[in-house]
Every structure is written in C-alpha cells, then in structure tokens.
Chains A and B, each alone.
Chain A
Amino acid sequence: MKRSNKKNSAYFHDAVERFMHHKLAVAGMAVVIVEILLLIILPMVMELEPNAITPAINMAPDKTHLLGTDTYGRDTFSRLIYGGRTSLKIGFFSVLVQAAIGIPLGIIAGYYGKWAEVIIMRLADMFQSIPSMCLNIVLVSVLSPSAETLILVIGVMGWPAFVRLLYAKVLSIKEKEYVEAARTTGTGNLVIMLKYILPNAISPALVAFTFGIPSAILTESALSFLGLGIQIPEASWGNMLNAAQSVAIISTKPWLWIPAGMCIFITLISVNLFGDGLRDALDPKTKIG
C-alpha cells in the first residue's frame, strides 16, 4: 500500500508537470480562477444591485452603470456578476448530480458485466441518441423552471458521459492482478469496488467532470435564453441574452447582450482548454500532437 502511495504521488507529480507544459490549459485555468474570484469578491466590495428597478432605463454604459441599464433600469453589470454566480453554480451542481448517477452506474456496468452492463449501457445509448434539448425543454416546463429544477434536469439527462468513461476504465482495471488477487482471497465485491476500483477511476471522473461543466452551462443558458430556465428577475447569463430577442435591442443596445454572451463564451473556452490539458496530463497515452 505504501509503495502504491509513492507511485501515486509520483504519478500526480508527473501529471502536474505535464499539465503545466500545456500553456493554453494553464491559461484556461487562470481565467477560470480569476473569474470565480471576481464573482465572489466583487459583490462584497462593490454595491451591486442586480434587481433594483430604477427610472434610468436603457442607459448606455457610463461611470455609474459600467455596462448600462436594461429596459427596467436594472444595472447590467450587477446582473452580469450575479448571473455568472447563478450560471456557474448551476453548471457545477448539475455535473455533481451527473457524477452521482454516472459514477456508480459506470462502475457497476464495468465490474459486473452481463445484465448490468447490457441494461446500463443500452440506457446510456438511448439517452445519448435522443435529442436531449427536446426532453430538457419538456422536463423543465413540467417541473416549473427554477435553479433547482435546472440542476436536477441537466443532472438526470447528462449522466451517460460519466458512465462511458468510467465503464471503459473499469473494464481495464478489473483485469489487473491486484483485483484478481483480492477476488481470489475472498474480498467482497463492494470492498473491491470501493477500495481498488474507485481510486483508479478518479482520473476519468475528473475529466468527465471538467468537460461536463461547460456543456451544463451551455444547456442552462440555452434553456434560460428560451425563457424556460432561470426566471426573471433572477439573473443568469442565458436569460440576459433572452432580452435580445428583438431586432431593436440587437441593433441599438449591444451592451445588453454582448457582455453576457462573451462571458459564456470565455467561460466555456477556458474550461474546455483546462479540460484538454487535464485529460492529456492524467492520461499521457491519449496525447495527440
């Protein structure tokens, strides 16, 4: 056990080194960290009133309103910051739900094989072959839109990505000598799964988690954009873009929608770059050029 710990720490040391070599991934990580810090700190140091309706409607950006105000006179910058908190929160927690469903199912499918494998993998196939946006829309409208609903829906619809990555990993681990050895000495299945398989499944789970977040944020913002996600007055990046569904706003008040769109874009590209670096660092074999 001691040796394997040592091996593990060397592995993670190498992984960190490989990751740091990946300049774009480091840049992506830096952007994400700065963004999270800003979203946490800014509301503490600035007076941000995302929901305060003022008579100063449709103002272009100036000193008091950095990004202007919307049709209700609400400060766009404040809404951007609070919207970001909402979007990131939903992104994170819905992937947490995906992981909570996907990790056990992936391990069970890979470890037990046979019927468990057929049922779980077929179910994953089915979930991936249906246009999830379609069911998302139906689900959200059935359950009445809110942050909790979005977390639940994106979580329940998005687990197959975890199952796939973990299933593949478990298949390769379960043939390893130490698992065979544990099994021949009569160690119970649950103990083997928790003690031997789960620790090895951490890397693919981390990768799936990282790539899950941008796709969850994308789903959330798409639903909010359609008016089926976060409901006004609560702000989210998606529903800020919802305001731009009229040509008048698109053409004359770009400050209302371009900042929110850019925030989604920058967040997604940074997390994706970070995820790319993480995947290459954790699994050096898959590295392509």
Chain B
Amino acid sequence: MGRYILKRILTAIVAFVGITIMTYCLASLMPGSPLDQLVQPESGISNAELAAIEHKMGLDRPIYIQYFFWLKNMLSGNFGISYTQHRPVLELITGRIGATLLLSISSMFLALLVAVPLGTAAGYRPYKGVDYASSVLAFVGQAAPNFFVALLLIYAFAVKLRLFPISGMYDSGSSGTMAEALRHLVLPCFALTFQHIGIFTRQMRNSMYECMSDDYVRTARAKGLSEGIVLFKHTLRNALLPLVTQAGLSLGSLVGGAIITEQIFSWPGMGTLMLKAIKDRDYPLIMGITVIISVIVLVGNIVIDIIYRLLDPRIDNKV
C-alpha cells in the first residue's frame, strides 16, 4: 500500500509539472506583457527603469528559464501579485478555496448519497418501477446542462417558492453562521451535482445488476444467508468499486462545473475569482487559480484511488 501511494504521488507530480508547463505556455500566449500595467504614461517610469524591472522579473531571459523561475517561486508559496487587486495571489486564493471545496465536496457527497441507494434498488430489482425511474433520472441528468438546471432552480425555488436564497454564501450584512451558509449552499450544490447524480445512479445500477448474477452471490445464498446480508454485506461492496472509479473520473468535471455554478449563484469561491481574473486579464491570478484547481483534482484523484484500493484487496499485490 505504501509503495502504491508513493507511485501514485510520483505520477501525480509528473501530471502537475505537465499542467504547469501548459498553464505557463498559455499565459505567455496571452496578448500583452506583464509590464503593460506599468507602462502607462502616467506611471512616469523611464525606459531604463523598465528594463531594470524586466531584468529583475526575469522577463529578459528565455521562456524556459522564466518558467523555472515561476515554478520555483510558486513551490515556495510565491504565486505573484494580482495586477488588479494588488495583493498576493496566494492570499486571494486561500480566501476563496474553502467555499469552492465546500461546494465541490458537498456536491460529490450528495451525488453519492442519492446514487448509491437508488442505483442499488434499481439494480437489485431490474425492469421494475425504481429501475425505470432511475433510468429516466440518469438520462435527464446526463443531458441537463448545469447552468440551465441552476436557472430553473432559481426560477422555481428562489423566485417562485422563495425557499432558498439566490446568491452569495451569507445574507448581506450578516456575521455568517454555518446554518446560513448551508441554506445558501442548497441550490448551487444541487445544480452542480444533478448531472453526476444521473451518471452515478446509472453506474451503480449497472454494476449492482452485474454483481447480482455473480457466483459468490449464489454461494452466499447457498450458505443460507438472508437476502439482507447477501445484498449489503456480499454484493454492495463489490458493486461500489466501479462507482468509486466513476467518482474519480467525474472529479475534474465536477470541479470545472463549480466555476460556472459559482458564477451563477455568486458563490464566493475560486470560480468567481477566476472569471473575474479572466475578464481583467490578471495573469498571475489566472495561473495561480488554474494550478491550485488542478492540484485539488490531482489530490482528490489520489484519495479516490486509495479508497478503491482499500475496498478491493485484489490489486494490492499486482503493483
């Protein structure tokens, strides 16, 4: 297990380096130079001074050297200064990361919370009411764009029924309690997760359906175990394995979808910060957020892989 985790972390580091290279290349393709902000006539900086700053920032070196400077700074926690907000990027991100994690993680859990019981019931009794209902939910979920779901939710639950607040994380002017945050979380969380509820339910249903005809299930019944034990102790654990894999695959799109969801609900997370940075062409901030979001997904994937290994003893000695 220890060796596996180590190996998994090493591949994640390779992926991380790949992502940073891509991000850096993208940022360097962006129109304008980081110095543009300084080269405004009213700043009164002379060309010589400008050249000195350029040298100090490493901008006169070849691009791969610049990349290493940037990577080195980033690894030591220096993500640069936001052009528009004039504060360290890392500080801006850490102020927002909690909201994004809360939204993403609660969405993942909500999807699993709905999909596991529903998919299990559907796969255990296929071609019955619950199964058909879960199929409909799955197809509808997969085809419903999260921003459209979000607008519909706002229309129904915030505008018409006035059950939940439309935007933000806390009521304006309030000191902000946990209960208040949770009430604000309901709609964005549901909008973000709706698609994944569909995908996960379908996956759970199919793997449950397949597991029910496995030989060990017959063995368990032949031992005289009750249906409850056969289902919950013998079948469910095996049927969960493909769902864990699916959760890993969906992690990226979940976190990516959070960007849009945050924007719609003005959720104060990294997504809204990112879109603002894009609008302002605030390169250090854009790069910082891209890297941090990627790290979150990479770490999440490692965690999911470890969970998979804890559930399935077979792979341990194959590594």
A binds B: yes
Taking beta carbons and an 8 Å cutoff, which residues of A are in contact with B?
122-123, 125-126, 128-139, 141-143, 214, 218, 221-222, 225-226, 228, 241, 244-245, 247, 250-251, 254, 257, 261, 264-266, 268-269, 272-273, 288-289
* Contact between chains at B143 and A137 (CB < 8 Å): no
* Contact between chains at A225 and B26 (CB < 8 Å): no
B26 is contacted by which of A139, A245, A265 (Cβ under 8 Å)?
A: A139
Taking beta carbons and an 8 Å cutoff, which residues of B are in contact with A?
11, 14-15, 18-19, 22-23, 26-27, 29-31, 126-127, 139-140, 142-148, 151-152, 154-155, 158-160, 166, 206, 209-210, 249, 252-253, 255-257, 259-260, 263-264, 274-275, 278, 281, 286, 289-290, 293-294, 297-298, 301
With A131-B255, A214-B143, A288-B210 already in contact, the answer to whether A126 and B155 are too (CB < 8 A) is no
* Contact between chains at A273 and B139 (CB < 8 Å): yes
For B144, list chain A residues within 8 Å (CB).
265, 268
Distance from A3 Cβ to chain B, minimum over Cβ atoms (Å): 35
Distance from B184 Cβ to chain A, minimum over Cβ atoms (Å): 15
With A226-B263, A261-B145, A265-B148 already in contact, the answer to whether A133 and B257 are too (CB < 8 A) is yes
For A218, list chain B residues within 8 Å (CB).
145
With A225-B260, A265-B148, A289-B127 already in contact, the answer to whether A128 and B252 are too (CB < 8 A) is yes
* Contact between chains at B126 and A272 (CB < 8 Å): no
For B256, list chain A residues within 8 Å (CB).
131-134, 136
With A129-B15, A254-B155, A289-B126 already in contact, the answer to whether A221 and B145 are too (CB < 8 A) is yes
With A130-B294, A133-B260, A138-B26 already in contact, the answer to whether A250 and B159 are too (CB < 8 A) is yes
For A264, list chain B residues within 8 Å (CB).
145, 148
* Contact between chains at A250 and B26 (CB < 8 Å): no
Distance from B119 Cβ to chain A, minimum over Cβ atoms (Å): 13
What residue in chain B is nearest A144 (Cβ atoms)?
B31
* Contact between chains at A222 and B22 (CB < 8 Å): no
With A125-B15, A218-B145, A250-B154 already in contact, the answer to whether A131 and B293 are too (CB < 8 A) is yes
Q: Closest 4 CB pairs between A and B?
A: A133-B256, A268-B143, A269-B143, A131-B256
Distance from B240 Cβ to chain A, minimum over Cβ atoms (Å): 17
* Contact between chains at B22 and A135 (CB < 8 Å): yes
Most buried by A among B140, B148, B151, B297: B148
* Contact between chains at A126 and B15 (CB < 8 Å): yes
Most buried by B among A123, A134, A225, A247: A134
For B166, list chain A residues within 8 Å (CB).
247
For B275, list chain A residues within 8 Å (CB).
137, 226
Distance from A192 Cβ to chain B, minimum over Cβ atoms (Å): 31
* Contact between chains at A247 and B290 (CB < 8 Å): no
A175 to B201: give the CA distance in the assembly, Å: 36
With A131-B253, A261-B152 already in contact, the answer to whether A137 and B22 are too (CB < 8 A) is no
For B257, list chain A residues within 8 Å (CB).
133
* Contact between chains at A132 and B145 (CB < 8 Å): no
What residue in chain B is nearest A249 (Cβ atoms)?
B151
A138 to B19: give the CA distance in the assembly, Å: 13
For A228, list chain B residues within 8 Å (CB).
278
* Contact between chains at B26 and A134 (CB < 8 Å): no
- If A129-B298, A269-B142 are given as contacts, then 13 extra A-B residue pairs at C-beta distance below 8 Å, sorted by A number, are A129-B297, A130-B252, A130-B297, A131-B259, A133-B259, A135-B290, A142-B26, A222-B145, A228-B278, A266-B143, A268-B143, A269-B139, A269-B140
What residue in chain A is nearest B30 (Cβ atoms)?
A142
With A132-B252, A289-B126 already in contact, the answer to whether A138 and B290 are too (CB < 8 A) is yes
For A133, list chain B residues within 8 Å (CB).
253, 256-257, 259-260
Distance from A187 Cβ to chain B, minimum over Cβ atoms (Å): 35
* Contact between chains at B263 and A135 (CB < 8 Å): no
Distance from A149 Cβ to chain B, minimum over Cβ atoms (Å): 12
